[in-house]
Chains A and B, each alone.
Chain A
Amino acid sequence: MQHASTAPLKVEQVTLSGSTMGLAPKMMLLGLVTLGAGLLLDLVAGPKGLYHFAHAYLLGYFFCLTIALGALIFVCLQRLTKAGWSVVIRRLAELIASTMPALAILAIPVLVFMHQLYPWTHAELVENDAILLGKQAYLNMPFFIGRVAVYFAVWIWIARKMLTLSLRQDESGDVELTRKAERLSAPAVILFALTVTFAGFDLLMSLDPHWFSTIYGVYVFAGSMVGFLSVAILGVKFLQSRGVLRDVVTVEHFHDLGKLLFGFTMFWGYIAFSQFMLIWYANIPEETIWFEHRMSHGWGWVSLILLFGHFVIPFGGLLSRHVKRDARGLVFWAAWQLVMHLVDIYWLIMPALNLAHGKVGAPGYAPALHAGFPLHVLDVLAVVGFGALFVGLVMRSMRGVNLVPLKDPRLAEARGFHNF
């Protein structure tokens, strides 16, 4: 391995071939068509269908957004810690994060469907509701839209800055560019923490505006990292099957990605349990209601799937060093955790659809507990559509770009990297 890693890089090792690039527009087209089919399907179904489409759209959208956010913070963290090993993977993360402007545009339908998603946008509900009245200073449409705009401004700025600094170094090889990125990463991490926390509060937590949990932002972040690391492992494996990054990303780097995936699986479990236990122990109705939705009429099974599927089973599965160094083992668990991340987002968003359904035509904001379990073909269409669109966007960003930062001062260190 060490011998191969010192050989000079060939062009086909670092750039995507034309035949693979041809997939990008096809994937994007497939995604848009699928999403369009979903929209048509629910327009036929009447006003309730629009509610379901809005939630399904948010599901697919937020799933992709978390992966891009995970990529963004991954880049910042590698810069902040002056990491050597991850240089060969960093460009991929930079490119995934660079889809942020497209994701900002795709956020517009979420704002269009605000009435279907967020009960606090209904003036007639708010004026009869003491809790919502109290939160009106924060949860109102102009401020909400403004905040979402600020989040995306920050994310787009960090993502662009990180990518351009890295790309400029491909040309000039200037070491100062690395230092610049490292200096930028410290404030970027702070901005990221603030924006992701409040984006979680705004986009997901306010689906059920009576309820609140201060750890929610960290929960979203933990899930994002699990999602991104899974995508990174699967993405590099896919690129290697196309001839790219071969002999560049070695078993040593996969081992490290596996360690991070394992660590963030643990972190997710830790945060999810912290949120659950405090609410469970205090047992205050206004807090337990959120888990009540998710532990009854069918949702209890999804909660159990998350407990075991997102934490207990992959924790055992990823514990061993041999699994993390075994290509098939690591790919299996990365795919598993990506699916679980999707289930997690589904579990966060979809119970709110019950609230929305209970709300149609109702005089007040009255959470309907008995609306059941709303799995629908729309959810599948939204996830497949967004998945295809997102993969297409990421591949499009790879056009004419080296997938390895060729003149990074730590590239040699990264290629010679060896776990003990």
Chain B
Amino acid sequence: MNPLDDKMRWLEKAGDVDAKAPQEMHGLLVEFDSPETLLDACRKVRDAGYTKWDALTPFPVHGIDEAMGIRMTILPWLALGAGLTGLAIAFGLQIFTNGIDYPFLVSGKPLISVPAQIPVAFELTVLFAAFTTFFGMLVLNFLPEVFHPLFRAKRFPRMTADRFGIYIEAKDPLFNRQQAELLFTRLGATGVEPVLSRTGRAPMPVMIHGVGLTLTLLALIPPALIVKSRYSKSDKPRIHIIQDMDFQERYKTQSAHPLLPRGAASMEPVAGTIARGELNEDDHMYRGMAGDEFVRGFPMALTESVLNRGQRQFAIYCAPCHGLTGVGDGPIARRADRLAEGTWVAPTSFHTELVLEQAEGQIFHTITNGVRTMKPYAAQIEVADRWAIVAYVRALQRSQRASIDDVPPDIRAQLAQ
């Protein structure tokens, strides 16, 4: 007896319940003793038009794909598609999270910075392609398969050692046992063996229910623990698993420091340090000054959009006190008058000689730094918006002192009506 037949014993030990059930033909196992006769037989089976069959060899046999008529797998296309998907997801995720949904500046790079995204894109491309190739290979091969009726065949174990085989399933439309046996005997088969399997589905072993129940109960424990800790209180401090990370040997921003000047962990910036983008060299633009004098004129071109912007900002920040026309009758001023508060200084009307004669630079300065009880607005109103407000104040002043010369000639006729 062949020592390899020992391999069959595991099946007997496991109690092959299927063997006692009613049997039907599952397929025909044909044995060959050399790869050459196998290849030859494969070509014949291929040309005969069989579809549900396979070759069994103990090692890879060159040229068997062609002999069996196996077409090129679609796996490379799956891998390519998965790789491109990984690439798209990596870029999409990084662009959306860091560039759009929650813009967060890292190392002064642009929010959507392709070089910084390439490592993640590379890894995800490889990950998706590799997983798809591996699991796709399993799926395309119908793996994993726990049991196959071939395991019962007496000749099957030797096909993992020194014999070669062809297995034709009974489901094949061309399957005919007598014809097949005749064909293979002519092709030099050294043995033919019918393989049986039970009819219908095998019942589930009773043990499976127990195992399944136990695993389900065990799997419920972690979520149960989480739910418990979510809905119960504890006086104990939290567990610090990573001590080095929770308690770092470093000075925090506002803590004391024994060595540094001022005794503080945070040092002052070097004298004269200017934050990036805050150099503000243009005196006209940022201070409304030229030397010691307030500047007349604007640092930017006056367009309709500037005046519209000025009107909106004026209505938000200035009109509550100064009133929409700038005479000083805003709702706050009127209420203060009604309450007759002693400390109240009425807002200045823009139509007095005082304001009319002020340089644009001085009005800008007033908005920026405040005057008397008016507070400085530098923190609230952008530089460009302050100048837009100045422009609108000038427009308001002119509107109250307009002559017919200010009206464009082509509209004068309409006014006359």
Q: List residues of chain A with CB under 8 Å of any chain B CB.
A: 2, 270, 273, 276-277, 280-281, 283, 319, 321, 416, 418, 420
Contacts and interface: CB of A to CB of B under 8 A. Distances in A.
A418 B118 contact: no
Interface in B50-90: 62-63, 65, 76, 80
B63 A277 contact: no
A280 B108 CA distance: 11
Contact of A277 (B65, B76, B80, B115): B115
B107 interface: yes
A416 B62 contact: yes
20 contacts: A2-B62, A2-B63, A270-B122, A273-B118, A277-B115, A277-B116, A277-B118, A277-B119, A280-B115, A281-B107, A281-B115, A281-B116, A283-B107, A283-B108, A319-B80, A321-B76, A416-B62, A418-B62, A418-B63, A420-B65
Interface of B: 62-63, 65, 76, 80, 107-109, 115-116, 118-119, 122
A281 B108 CA distance: 10
Contacts of A270: 122
Contacts of B62: 2, 416, 418
Contacts of A321: 76
A211 to B, nearest CB: 19
A-B complex: 8 closest residue pairs judged by Cβ atoms: A418-B62, A280-B115, A277-B115, A273-B118, A420-B65, A281-B107, A418-B63, A281-B116
Contacts of B122: 270
A416 B63 CA distance: 11
Contacts of B63: 2, 418
Nearest to A282: B107
Nearest to B119: A277
B133 to A, nearest CB: 14
Which label, helix, strand, loop or mixed, suits the secondary structure of the A interface? helix
Nearest to B65: A420
A276 to B, nearest CB: 7
A179 to B, nearest CB: 25
Contacts of B107: 281, 283
Contacts of B118: 273, 277
Contacts of A273: 118
Nearest to A322: B72
A249 to B, nearest CB: 18
B218 to A, nearest CB: 43
Nearest to A269: B122
Nearest to A273: B118
Contacts of A319: 80
B106 to A, nearest CB: 9
A276 B119 CA distance: 12
Nearest to A417: B62
Given A273-B118, A277-B116, A280-B115, 13 more contacts: A2-B62, A2-B63, A270-B122, A277-B115, A277-B118, A277-B119, A281-B107, A281-B109, A283-B107, A283-B108, A321-B76, A418-B62, A418-B63
Nearest to A418: B62
A277 B107 CA distance: 13
A251 to B, nearest CB: 14
Contacts of A2: 62-63
A317 to B, nearest CB: 14
B129 to A, nearest CB: 11
A319 B83 CA distance: 12
Nearest to B108: A283
Contacts of A277: 115-116, 118-119
A273 B107 CA distance: 19
B43 to A, nearest CB: 14
Contacts of B108: 283
Contacts of B116: 277, 281
A325 to B, nearest CB: 12
A209 B108 CA distance: 29
Contacts of B119: 277
Most buried by B among A273, A280, A319, A420: A420
Nearest to A276: B115
B174 to A, nearest CB: 28
A19 B63 CA distance: 39
B6 to A, nearest CB: 33
A281 B65 CA distance: 50
A195 B107 CA distance: 37
A416 B76 CA distance: 25
Contacts of A281: 107, 109, 115-116
Contacts of A418: 62-63
B177 to A, nearest CB: 33
A49 B259 CA distance: 60
A2 B76 CA distance: 26
A29 B80 CA distance: 49
A277 B113 CA distance: 11
B394 to A, nearest CB: 46
A395 to B, nearest CB: 35
A375 to B, nearest CB: 27
Nearest to A320: B76
A283 B113 CA distance: 14
A280 B116 CA distance: 9
Nearest to B122: A270
Nearest to B80: A319
A301 to B, nearest CB: 18
A283 B110 CA distance: 13
A278 to B, nearest CB: 10
A378 to B, nearest CB: 34
A156 B201 CA distance: 71
Nearest to A277: B115
A281 B113 CA distance: 11
A339 to B, nearest CB: 25
A418 B67 CA distance: 14
Contacts of B109: 281
Nearest to B118: A273
B295 to A, nearest CB: 39
Nearest to A321: B76
Nearest to A270: B122
A79 B99 CA distance: 50
A416 B62 CA distance: 9
B56 to A, nearest CB: 18
Contacts of A283: 107-108
B116 to A, nearest CB: 7
A104 B80 CA distance: 45
B36 to A, nearest CB: 12
Contacts of B115: 276-277, 280-281
B74 to A, nearest CB: 13
A319 B63 CA distance: 24
A270 B122 CA distance: 9
A277 B62 CA distance: 45
Nearest to A274: B119
A420 B62 CA distance: 8
A283 B116 CA distance: 13
A321 B76 CA distance: 9
